[in-house]
Structure 1
Amino acid sequence: MEITRKDKTVTLTWEKGEVSEGTMVFVSSQATLEANMKPVFIVTDDVNHYTYETKDVPIYFFLQTPNGDKLVISERILPLESVFNFRDMGGYESKNGQHVRWGKLYRSSNLVHISKEDTELLQKLHIKWICDLRSSSEVKAQPTPAIQGVLNKHIPIGTAKNEETTLPITNDQAIYEPLMGESYRVFVQSMEGFKEIFDEILKDAEAGVPFVFHCTAGKDRTGVLGALLLTLLDVPEKTIFDDYTLTNRYQDEILAEMGGIISLFANESEKIDLETFRPMAEARPAYLEIAFDEMRKQFGSVDKYLEEGIGITAEQKAAFQKLLLE
């Protein structure tokens, strides 16, 4: 099933046979369906879509089959105007048939230029906290604006909190692919940072869920954290990699974002062709595989990395799944 948005409408489309005849469709702007809501559509065999007129963001479709099975579908990519690659990680099916709750886990590029309208959307989504995975130098150069009612925590991945970012600046494209691979190995060493993030989710005091996590482009550090969150929820590895590669829709935006970061480190007299950095703008499955391979090399499996490396206990994993699966 797929959701597309155009102008003032949101359309849910499904393949023939994917939704059984007689399935009732409900629509809400909230991730939970109220008991008194009425269906807006009943599926027939000759129709494969339903279009709902609204400007609300997000929109949730609730499907209830004739035998009582229920499913929630929402927009994977939210249409923010000032922030790209802002995604809801809900809806993914776990190995035991449960689904990640919508409206709890959000991943994004940086929020440096977030507009008033998009700020209001984050507040509407009831975001409790922003987890900034960037280095201290990135945060200092491009701080995230304060958002009323939303806690902003800096938990860097890949660098210590007081460590500066360094980036070799050259027009030799050949160096950047292996550099990305090495970066993913370094991310794996940030076990204390990952543990702090998981603790913040579980203790649910100032933090908890819903929350949004981001780095600069929402690709690498964000991609590894997203993969670990889904692994902890027992989402199949293929789904995890599919989620990771969705970022490739934003390669041009990522290159433009990188241009600003590169200017922080490059000599002003140097002329750098942004296309040189294309390997760093791509969410290549091989990059994430390098991180997973490093976890397996050190601990035997990604699950063992979470358990023994980060320190997630069986009780914490169960609590995490209870919180985020339905």
Structure 2
Amino acid sequence: MTLVNFRDPAALADPEGRWVRPGVIHRSAQPFPAADAAIVEQLRSAGIVTVIDMRGEAEADAADWAAAQADGVEVVAARIEPTDDGALEAAMRTMTEDADLGAFYLLMAESAPGAVKLAVEAAARPGGLLLHCAAGKDRTGFLTAILLDLLGVPAEEIVADYARTNQALTQIFEGLAERNRAALNDFNAGSLTVPRPLLEAPADAMAAFLDLVQARYGGTEGLLAHCGVDAATVEAFRAKAAAGATAEPTAEVTA
């Protein structure tokens, strides 16, 4: 089985090649149930040498990427997961509007600065990369948005790329349900409540996220600086991924 919700944002958000070098950034959901020969071939064909896994510790399994790692793919665990201060849980409980989901994304980034830093540093390394979380929607969505914004992709194209995940939600939720039977049972029993925006990929959520980043940090570079990402890493990523780039950076940025 191949990766669900797999795509190169450059192909759809920037088909004319004005901002993003094709074949550098890819996004998807987690492998269902784990990477197999078909997924390894999918990565190889796309030129992916680094997988950035943003799932929390409890979501991931060592077997998920074992076949890819055996094929030489490096997997970077950049765990963006709830902290113990309760802020993310409180935000989820009060989420009703699409814009609330955008605010939730910024809170996730702010609550895991080390993971955001690790992910962006890994994205600046030579070679194609794959970003994923569980659904390939929320954490993958806001980190992809950050990277595309660094390359100058207009907000409306970033929003449109994020919203394309709606087309894959049926497959995504089927895969998550099969993998997370215990959580699904809790949900069916009424002990878990998932806000409506979290079950979708609403364009207004990503638009709100980008607006909040601009208002609070002056843009994505300011947010990344807040997370500890230095200017050299940002420039290394641009040198690799910007439209017109023809070669990989000569020096690898280490996490």
Task: Give the gaps of 5 or more residues in structure 1.
Answer: 1-80, 169-173
CA distance in 2, matches of 1:188, 1:268: 27
User: Per-residue deviation at 1:126?
Assistant: 2.9
CA distance in 2, matches of 1:122, 1:318: 25
1:239 lines up with 2:151 in the alignment? no
* Contact kept? 2:96, 2:196, Cα under 8 Å: no
The answer for the alignment partner of 1:219 in structure 2 is 137
CA distance in 2, matches of 1:275, 1:257: 19
Q: Pick closer, same or farther for the CA change 1:269–1:257 going to 2, 3 Å.
A: closer
User: Per-residue deviation at 1:294?
Assistant: 3.8
User: Per-residue deviation at 1:176?
Assistant: 5.8
CA distance in 2, matches of 1:308, 1:143: 33
The answer for the alignment partner of 2:78 in structure 1 is 155
* Contact kept? 1:88, 1:106, Cα under 8 Å: yes
Q: Secondary structure at the match of 2:60?
A: helix
* Contact kept? 1:128, 1:210, Cα under 8 Å: yes
Q: Secondary structure at the match of 1:106?
A: strand
* Aligned-partner residue type, residue 207 of structure 2: E
1:88 lines up with 2:5 in the alignment? no
Residues 179-198 of structure 1 mapped to structure 2, 5 A cutoff:
180=101, 183-189=104-110, 190-198=112-120
User: Per-residue deviation at 1:215?
Assistant: 0.6
Structure ranking higher in helix proportion = 2
CA RMSD in angstroms comes to 3.7
Q: TM-score, normalised by structure 2?
A: 0.74
In percent, how many aligned pairs have the same letter? Answer: 25
The answer for the alignment partner of 1:99 in structure 2 is 19
* Contact kept? 1:245, 1:283, Cα under 8 Å: yes
Give the alignment partner of residue 219 of structure 2, picking from 298, 301, 310. Answer: 301
Q: Pick closer, same or farther for the CA change 1:281–1:143 going to 2, 3 Å.
A: farther
CA distance in 1, matches of 2:187, 2:240: 52
User: Per-residue deviation at 1:103?
Assistant: 1.4
1:318 lines up with 2:238 in the alignment? no
User: Per-residue deviation at 1:101?
Assistant: 1.4
The answer for the alignment partner of 1:199 in structure 2 is 121
The answer for the alignment partner of 1:108 in structure 2 is 28
* Contact kept? 2:52, 2:130, Cα under 8 Å: yes
CA distance in 1, matches of 2:230, 2:122: 13
User: Per-residue deviation at 1:186?
Assistant: 2.4
The answer for the alignment partner of 1:230 in structure 2 is 148
Q: Pick closer, same or farther for the CA change 1:103–1:270 going to 2, 3 Å.
A: closer
Q: Pick closer, same or farther for the CA change 1:303–1:200 going to 2, 3 Å.
A: closer
* Contact kept? 1:112, 1:145, Cα under 8 Å: no
CA distance in 1, matches of 2:180, 2:96: 16
CA distance in 1, matches of 2:194, 2:223: 34
CA distance in 2, matches of 1:296, 1:229: 14
The answer for the alignment partner of 2:183 in structure 1 is 265
Q: Secondary structure at the match of 1:87?
A: coil
Equivalenced residue count is 233
CA distance in 1, matches of 2:142, 2:187: 35
* Contact kept? 2:51, 2:74, Cα under 8 Å: yes
* Aligned-partner residue type, residue 193 of structure 1: A
User: Per-residue deviation at 1:117?
Assistant: 2.0
Deviation track 1:95-119 (CA, whole Å, cap 9, x = no partner) reads xx73311111110000142442232
Q: Secondary structure at the match of 1:153?
A: strand
Q: Secondary structure at the match of 1:216?
A: coil
Q: Pick closer, same or farther for the CA change 1:102–1:266 going to 2, 3 Å.
A: closer
1:144 lines up with 2:67 in the alignment? no
